[in-house]
Amino acid sequence: MSKLLRLSFQSSAFGLPPLNIQRRLLNLLIATVIATVFLGIPLLSIAKVYNVEEYIHPVTPAKEHAKLSFVIAKQLQYQHYRQMVLDDKLSSTVFDAFLKSLDPNRTFFLASDIKSFEKFRFLIDNNFRRGELENAFSTFNLYQKRHTERLVYTLNLLENKYDKLDFSKKEELVLERDEMPWPANEKEQNDLTRRQLKNVIISFKLAGKDDKEIQELLIKRYKNQLNRIKQTNNEDAFRIYMNALAESYDPHTQYFSPRISENFDIQMSLSLEGIGAMLQSEDGYTKVKRLVPAGPAEKAGQLKAGDRIVGVAQGVDGDMIDVIGWRLDDVVQLIRGKKGTTVRLELIPQKTKDEHKTKTIQIVRNTVKLEEQAAKKEIIEVTENGIKRKIGVIDIPAFYIDFKGAQAGEPDYKSTTRDVKKLINELQQENIDGLVIDLRNNGGGSLQEVNSLVGLFIKSGPTVQVKAADGRIAQLNDESDEITYQGPLAVLVNRLSASASEIFAGAIQDYNRGLIIGNQTFGKGTVQALQQLEQGQIKLTHAKFYRISGDSTQNLGVIPDITFPALYDKDDIGESSLPEALPWDKVKNAEFQHSPAFNSLFPTLKEKHQKRSKSDPDFLYIQETVARIDKKKDQKILSLNYKTRQKEYQESRQEQLEIENKRRIAKGEKPYKNIKELDDEEDVLGLNKEHEDEEDEDDKKDSDSRTFLLESANILVDYIQLKQNSIVHK
């Protein structure tokens, strides 16, 4: 056949081939097709080729965007806490922020693109003054084109060269490229794209998927991303650009487009129907920022802050929709739904460095009600030296208040302070020896409530200072001399304790009123206000919190007196991890009367805690798990050799099994025989969690959380004993 084809091509150079050759070619082609159909002889497949031009969709600014950009720039300049001048220095910061928001891993733009953009670096301030957006939109459109090129190249590899990808070569991939040079040319960029694809394929292979399944899944994923690019509109481009300006002032200042404003208003509502999770977009993923206290997701106990959502399905058997690369608002629409319906989420867990293994969870949507965020109590019994002591615990998920009920004069309106006061009185009737206030994962809330809550534990005095942009400092005070609880007190915090939680913990620490136990808190010490625009809203930072000692809670947070192993990496979660975060600083301390200092007890308390934790199987398990995660976090380069990765994966899983079995043996439980047995039991536990009794709150808390709570009770008992001994010796 090859000779005939050659002959036909040679003849066609001077016109059509001779008629007899045409007939012979046609007969041969017919015979080939017949042989293929009836004899199973393979016919060359027609390769599917994706075309960049098909998906390119440039956007241009709307008429109203010019005026809006000018108005937002003016409001930021004159009303933001920082009051920065819109000059060349800020222009350069916005320039870098805009490029980073478009291409955070330096994957899409070429070095030549970045060089061509440099002429805009010091023009942005002038552009905002004139309401000019052409430079921003041309940059955005080139990003869309480059992004499309990468997706098309990846799809063509998947469709036509999947079997040519060599997983036996000794290649590597740099994981974090945010400070790497942009690709020098298309050849270098293609090589990077190929390596990134190989990494994703290896991850799926390690998760047990076969090549056909991987190929189909990834083609579907990247086609989805291409289709999403086609749906991008000028409002998306404008929002990204304006937020590059807003977030150059601080990370909590944001522009909300009309649709995002609607979602934000729903999230701030006390009757949100959904799963109760705050989401953000990061590097093409939908990431869980935090869980709404007492919401369906937190109650289910399987979704965590930092988890990345890669798939969403409706009901218990609906098809899983891959959402990598989707717009955040579209993912939110998929997840949100009517009360009582089920949504399934495919996740990359926060603790997973690579995509080796995703997990699927299901959550029943519900209404997040104010009552469900109410404080709750329990009693923990601790025996020390033969003496049994009762430690009361009050878990406060948020600082809440029913403003409408309070304004209407309703006698039983809900508020944090009213509920906690009632719980304290109930606990004191049961003769507790000490009290732990649990503020872990409490993201804050009403400033009025944190002020009055501090007042339950102190005589009248200041609780927090608030500094405005003009430098004026206001002071919030507890005016009542009444003290609801005067006994031994501890406050338990973690990295997700923020804002109002930090004000409370800081005040208790400054008054020497109690022990602060746990992890360094989030460090959000700024105050925001929403301002309506002609279209959308702007959330603007206008003040800053300071402790009564004069120290800011901003950036640094509250440092505990006794620290626990950190389950959240402060380099990834917390104010200090956010770009352009306002700095920590000090103001003059407020005048207040504090209790006698007890920091002389800290060395003994820490010694007792460390001694106990060294023999506690659960505490040892947490420490070893955290150390294992930290070790993996330091890994900056991944091998693209499948056998090497498989070996690393198996070693990591074996290490996990050994840590788990070490804990089980120490607790007198039967160890797992192998990884499969561990995985099978985790799956069963996850399934059972979905059907557990909603009133059994203790069972909902994971073992790490419970371990820290029990140890906090032990530390408080140590404190009580040391205080009593010091009084006796006096």
Residue ranges per structural domain of the chain: 2-39, 52-246, 271-368, 370-594, 598-730
At the fourth CATH level, the homologous superfamily of domain 271-368 is PDZ domain (2.30.42.10)
Band (274; pLDDT cuts 50, 70, 90): confident
Q: Which one is catalytic: 377, 524, 544, 608?
A: 524
For 640-649, the CB contacts below 8 A with 24+ separation are 640/167, 640/169, 640/171, 640/172, 640/173, 640/195, 640/198, 640/199, 640/202, 641/167, 641/168, 641/169, 641/170, 641/171, 642/167, 642/168, 642/202, 642/205, 643/168, 645/202, 645/206, 646/206, 649/206, 649/356
What does pTM read for this prediction? 0.78
Alpha helices in 207-303, H assignment, sequence order = 211-231, 234-246, 258-268, 296-300
Report the pLDDT value the prediction gives residue 696, as an integer from 0 to 100. 33
H or E segment and range at residue 678: helix 675-689
Cβ 133 vs Cβ 69: under 8 Å: yes
Give me 199's structure tokens.
Answer: 């990494």
Pairing mode, if any, of strands 434-438 and 461-468?
A: unpaired
Q: How far apart are CA 64 and CA 632, in angstroms?
A: 48
- 88 has a pLDDT exceeding 90: yes
Q: How far is CA 135 from CA 87, 95, 233, 356, in A?
A: 17, 11, 17, 40
471 alpha carbon, distance to own chain's centre? 33
H or E segment and range at residue 713: helix 703-729
- 697 has a pLDDT exceeding 60: no
Q: Is 101 a catalytic residue?
A: no
Pairing mode, if any, of strands 526-532 and 172-174?
A: unpaired
Q: Which one is catalytic: 103, 438, 510, 718?
A: 510
Average pLDDT for 509-537: 94
Report the pLDDT value the prediction gives residue 266, as an integer from 0 to 100. 46
Lowest mean pLDDT among 120-129, 147-156, 443-452, 625-634: 625-634
Q: Which of the listed CATH numbers 3.30.930.10, 3.90.226.10, 1.10.10.370, 3.10.20.90 matches domain 370-594?
A: 3.90.226.10
Greater confidence, 71 or 337?
71
Cβ 47 vs Cβ 160: under 8 Å: yes
Q: Which of 588, 516, 517 is nearest to 548 (CA)?
A: 588
Q: Is 510 a catalytic residue?
A: yes
Report the pLDDT value the prediction gives residue 261, as an integer from 0 to 100. 62
Q: Which one is catalytic: 452, 499, 501, 613?
A: 499
Q: What is the 3-state secondary structure (H, E, C) of 529-541?
A: EEEECCCCEEEEE
pLDDT in tens, 40-67: 334 334 457 888 888 888 999 999 999 9
Q: How far apart are CA 548 and CA 591, in angstroms?
A: 8
Lowest mean pLDDT among 242-246, 539-543, 616-620, 631-635: 631-635
Q: How far apart are CA 475 and CA 466, in angstroms?
A: 6
Average pLDDT for 144-151: 96
DSSP 3-state of 643 = helix
Q: How far apart are CA 192 and CA 537, in angstroms?
A: 39
Phi, psi of 157 (to 5 degrees): -65, -45
Q: Is 524 a catalytic residue?
A: yes
- 439 has a pLDDT exceeding 90: yes
Report the pLDDT value the prediction gives residue 265, as an integer from 0 to 100. 47
Report the pLDDT value the prediction gives residue 631, as an integer from 0 to 100. 79
- 8 has a pLDDT exceeding 80: no
Report the pLDDT value the prediction gives residue 698, as an integer from 0 to 100. 33
Q: How far is CA 84 from CA 38, 74, 90, 241, 530, in A?
A: 77, 11, 8, 18, 19
Q: Which of 561, 560, 562, 601 is nearest to 724 (CA)?
A: 601
Report the pLDDT value the prediction gives residue 44, as an integer from 0 to 100. 39
Q: How far apart are CA 612 and CA 606, in angstroms?
A: 10
